[in-house]
């Protein structure tokens, strides 16, 4: 049986694939969310985007910075800052042959913490809700990084 086919049979790999898809699709939602607010509030970054909105009027009026849009963008950037390490560390963690239950625990907590983070950021909920959700995801990444370095490191 070919190598690649065996991946689709590994439960640890399938769990990883599932949660990677969940967090990356959630992250992609932030792009739509930014577009939605840009169009709804008439707040654009590029003159060519504001053309349709200006309807022949002054385009520059719509090239501005809006706090709601900036909040969504900060939330998106925070996702990138944390989901990139999750995907990278998660992948090599899975290939370091962890226990299924331990791996699932990592992936579930991370995905939950990032969804809670987005809700805390966009509502916004009073602190420390956002800080807490951020740190839970952060610690999951640290734990996978530690597991990799302590089990298969080769400097």
Residues making contact with its own copies (CB under 8 A): 2-8, 10-18, 20-22, 24-25, 27-28, 30-31, 45-46, 48-49, 51-52, 71, 74, 76, 80-85, 87-89, 91-92, 94-97, 124-127, 130, 134, 138, 141-142, 145, 148-149, 151-155
- Say which residues have a Cβ less than 8 Å from residue 151's Cβ, sequence separation at least 6: 96
Kindly state the smallest distance separating residue 117's Cβ from its own copies, in Å.
Answer: 12
Judged by beta carbon, residue 49 or residue 66, the one nearer its own copies is 49
Kindly state the smallest distance separating residue 50's Cβ from its own copies, in Å.
Answer: 9
Contact predicate 76/106, CB 8 Å: no
Q: CA–CA separation, 26 vs 79, rounded Å?
A: 9
Judged by beta carbon, residue 96 or residue 102, the one nearer its own copies is 96
- Say which residues have a Cβ less than 8 Å from residue 42's Cβ, sequence separation at least 6: 50, 53, 62
Kindly state the smallest distance separating residue 146's Cβ from its own copies, in Å.
Answer: 8
121 by Cβ neighbours in 10 Å (0-12 / 13-18 / 19+) ranks as: buried
């Amino acid at each position: 049986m070919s190598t690649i086919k065996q991946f689709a049979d590994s439960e640890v790999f399938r769990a990883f694939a599932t949660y990677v898809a969940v967090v990356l699709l959630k992250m992609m939602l932030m792009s739509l969310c930014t577009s939605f607010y840009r169009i709804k509030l008439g707040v654009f970054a590029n003159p060519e985007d504001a053309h349709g909105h200006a309807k022949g009027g002054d385009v520059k009026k719509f090239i501005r910075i809006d706090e709601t849009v900036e909040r969504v963008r900060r939330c998106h950037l925070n996702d990138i800052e944390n989901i990139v390490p999750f995907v990278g560390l998660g992948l090599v963690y899975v290939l370091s042959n962890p226990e299924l239950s331990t791996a699932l625990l990592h992936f579930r907590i991370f995905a939950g913490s990032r969804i809670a983070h987005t809700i805390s950021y966009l509502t916004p909920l009073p602190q420390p809700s956002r800080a807490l959700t951020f740190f839970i995801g952060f610690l999951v990444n640290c734990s996978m990084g530690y597991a990799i370095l302590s089990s298969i490191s080769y400097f």
